[in-house]
Structures are given as structure tokens and as C-alpha cells.
Amino acid sequence: MEALLHDLGQPLLAIRLNAELLMHSLGESGSDASKKKIQAILHASQESMDIAAQLGKLDIKK
């Protein structure tokens, strides 16, 4: 299970970091629609990382 969570976490972290970099590079020049989509990606990736962390905690408790 630990390996699976690690394999899941790496792409999620990469997605989050890339979205943060994109948001930063857009700065003031990005459209509101683009910023909202990036915010949705950030939110979804954070939720996914939180779920993976909770699964890891459950696996440890077993």
C-alpha cells in the first residue's frame, strides 16, 4: 500500500506544482477563466493528496 500511495502522490505533487507555477507566471495577465480553472486544478489535487494521506494513515493503523 505504501508503494501505491507513493506512486499516486508523485504525479499529484507534480500537477500541483505545475499549476502553482502556471498561476504565478500568469500573474495579472491571465484571464479570470484561466485562473479559475487553475484554482480548480489546485483544489482537486490538494483534495486528492489529502485522501491519499488519509489512506496512508488507515494503512498504518492496521
**Higher pLDDT among residues 62 and 19, named by residue:** 19
* Number of structural domains in the chain: 1
Lookup: cell for 50: 489529502
Q: How far apart are CA 43 and CA 25, in angstroms?
A: 18
Residues 3-48: tens digit of each pLDDT: 777 787 888 889 999 999 999 998 888 888 999 999 999 999 999 9
Q: For 29, which DSSP code?
A: T
Residues 6+ apart with CB under 8 A from 15: 41, 45
Nine-digit cell string for 12: 499529484
41 or 61, which is more confident?
Answer: 41
The residue with cell 483534495 is: 47
What range defines the domain where residue 39 resides?
2-61
Per-residue confidence (pLDDT) for residue 53, from 0 to 100: 87
